[in-house]
Structures are given as C-alpha cells and as structure tokens.
Amino acid sequence: EGALPRPARRRVLTVANQKGGVGKTTSTVNLAAALAVHGLKTLVIDLDPQGNASTALDIDHRSGTPSIYEVLIGEVSLAEAAANSAQSPNLFCVPATIDLAGAEIELVSMANRETRLKEALSAEVLDQIGVDYVLIDCPPSLGLLTVNAMVAAQEVLIPIQCEYYALEGLGQLLSNIELVQQHLNRELSVSTILLTMYDGRTKLADQVTNEVRNHFGETVLKTVIPRSVKVSEAPGYGQTVLSYDPGSRGAMSYLDAAKELAERGANEKRSTSA
Ligand code: ADP
Ligand code: MG
C-alpha cells in the first residue's frame, strides 16, 4: 500500500470533545490504524478509563497491566507501557485500565498535575520508539486528564457528530483550549475538525455539515465519516474498520481523512487557532 508523507516534525494530536459518543475513540483508532498501515509510526494513548481505544486495538488492559495510569503517577515509563498492536508493526498503544478512573482525583494533589503526560511524552522516549504521530484519546470531560492531553499536544482534533446539538458545548471546549493556550501551552491550536456519523438520508446532517464548515472553514477536513454499521461492529472483534472490512465505506473514509491529515502535516499547514 502507498505510503503517506511523514510529518515535517512529530505531531501530537489530542482528540477531544467533552460530549460522549461523538466518535472520539472511533476516530482515534481508525485514523491511527490508517496512518500506521501507510508507513507512519503511530502511538495511541488511551486516556479514557473506559479503555475503549485499547479494546479496539486489542491491547490487554486488565487492571494491573502497565498502563497510562502507572505512567501518570510515575511508576513506569511510556516506553514500558506501550504495546504493539497486532494490526500493524507501526501501531502502538498505551492502554487505559479501570485504575485510571481514580487518577482524575489522585492527580489533584500531585506536583505538576497538568504537565505529567507532557513529561512522560518526552522527545527521548518518542525518539526511542521512532514515533511520527501521537493520538491521544480523551475521556468525555474537561477534567485534569483532558488538560494533561492538551498540555502534551500541539494540536487538537475535534470530532463533531453530524447530529442535533452538534455545536452545543463546543464553546466551552474552545474556551478551555484557550485557557490552556494562555497558561500552559502556547503552542496548542485546533488544527482539525472531523465530521463523523454522517447520515446522507437526513437533511439535518447537511445542515450541521454546512454550519460547521461556515463556522470553522479550512479547519474542517473535506472528508466526512459516514454512519456505517461496519465501523461500529469492528471494536467488538478487537479490530479497527480498516482491518475488519478494508473495502467498506467506513474504512475508505477514515483512510481519506488520514491522508488529508498527513498531507496537512507534511506542509506544516496549521490553519486556525481556537
Ligand atoms: P466517543 O469516544 O466520543 O465517546 P465513540 O467513538 O465511542 O465516541 O462512538 C460512540 C458510538 O458510536 C460507538 O458505539 C461507536 O461504535 C459508534 N460509532 C462511531 N462512529 C461511527 C460511525 N461512523 N458509524 C456508526 N457508528 C459509529
Ligand atoms: Mg471514547
């Protein structure tokens, strides 16, 4: 399969939206798989105690497995917790176990509570693995875990579901990103918006798509992810849709989205800030 262009420099993207069920995890694992099968070394960080990204990538995440929780509290290094996914030799994942559920509270009393993930994602460690892309799958909240993800990243990727109330809560997300920019991470920008679960049979889906494009312009990827049963079935088999049904519309659209993402990275094009 054809290779995608390597980024001008390593890209760390946080996939965030405090709304649940908008396609954060689905987009994280499928974009990561698409980048990896096209030659780019990609690391997924599962930062949601639910561990859905770990499940989709078939990475062991029973309690006690070295995971992002042990990384955040400083017990193991990121390299020790990163496991190779069977889906590609280029695809790695630091899993989340249920132990992460307590981290949001444990972190409050810790030193450098906002920067612990950034410190763990040091250039040395990432060079050691040779990572081109890091994708961080956030929980559905704007708590300390998501703040850690925003501090550790250069870019935010926001998945938006083509549904009613799609833009509700987005203002809050953007103002949180702005706060992180001002106080913790000057480099952060919203580089990418991905429209997910598009249902072409509804007028509403087109209305939402237009509204989001009018509002965010070039930041929105041209590729829209369709609602597809294959996409939702894949994690049940410990797979991404790229391995589960490579010829499906869902797989092709995530591949197209990954291409756009990689091409933007190769050109160092960063359109919008929050
Ligand atoms: P989040 O991580 O934002 O909570 P998920 O990625 O887990 O959202 O998606 C929520 C639900 O929607 C999951 O059951 C997932 O399988 C399903 N889903 C996500 N994207 C699609 C899609 N393109 N087509 C059909 N179902 C999808
Ligand atoms: Mg999720």
Q: Kindly list the distances between the CA atom of residue 83 and the CA atoms of 39, 65, 121, 178, 218, in Å, as whole numbers in the listed order.
A: 18, 11, 15, 33, 35
| Distance from the alpha carbon of residue 22 to the mean position of ligand 1, in angstroms | 6
21-52 pLDDT, tens digit each: 999 999 999 999 999 999 999 999 999 999 99
Residue 245 has pLDDT above 90, yes or no: yes
Indicate whether residue 26 lines ligand 1 (CB < 6 A).
yes
Is the shortest distance between the CB of 91 and ligand 1 below 6 Å? no
**First and final CA of the chain: distance in angstroms?**
35
Q: Residue 231 pLDDT > 70, yes or no?
A: yes
185 CB near ligand 1 (under 6 Å)? no
Domains, in order of start, for the chain: 11-264 (3.40.50.300)
Contact 225 CB / ligand 1 (< 6 Å): yes
Mean pLDDT of 89-110: 94
Residues 6+ apart with CB under 8 A from 202: none
Calculate the average pLDDT of the chain. 94
pLDDT at 269: 47
Point out which residues pair with 161 in neighbouring strands.
Answer: 196
Summarize pLDDT for 144-159 with one digit per residue, the tens.
999 999 999 999 999 9
Residue 142 has pLDDT above 80, yes or no: yes
pLDDT score, position 1? 58
Percent of the chain with pLDDT over 70: 97
pLDDT at 274 over 70: no
User: Which pLDDT tens digit goes with each residue over 262-272?
Assistant: 999 776 644 44
Q: Which atom of ligand 1 has the smallest separation from the CA of 233?
A: 16
Segment 207-230 mean pLDDT: 96
Q: Kindly identify the ligand whose nearest atom is closest to the C-alpha of 53.
A: 2
**102 token code pair:** 């307590």
CA nearest to 200, candidates 209, 190, 191, 212: 209
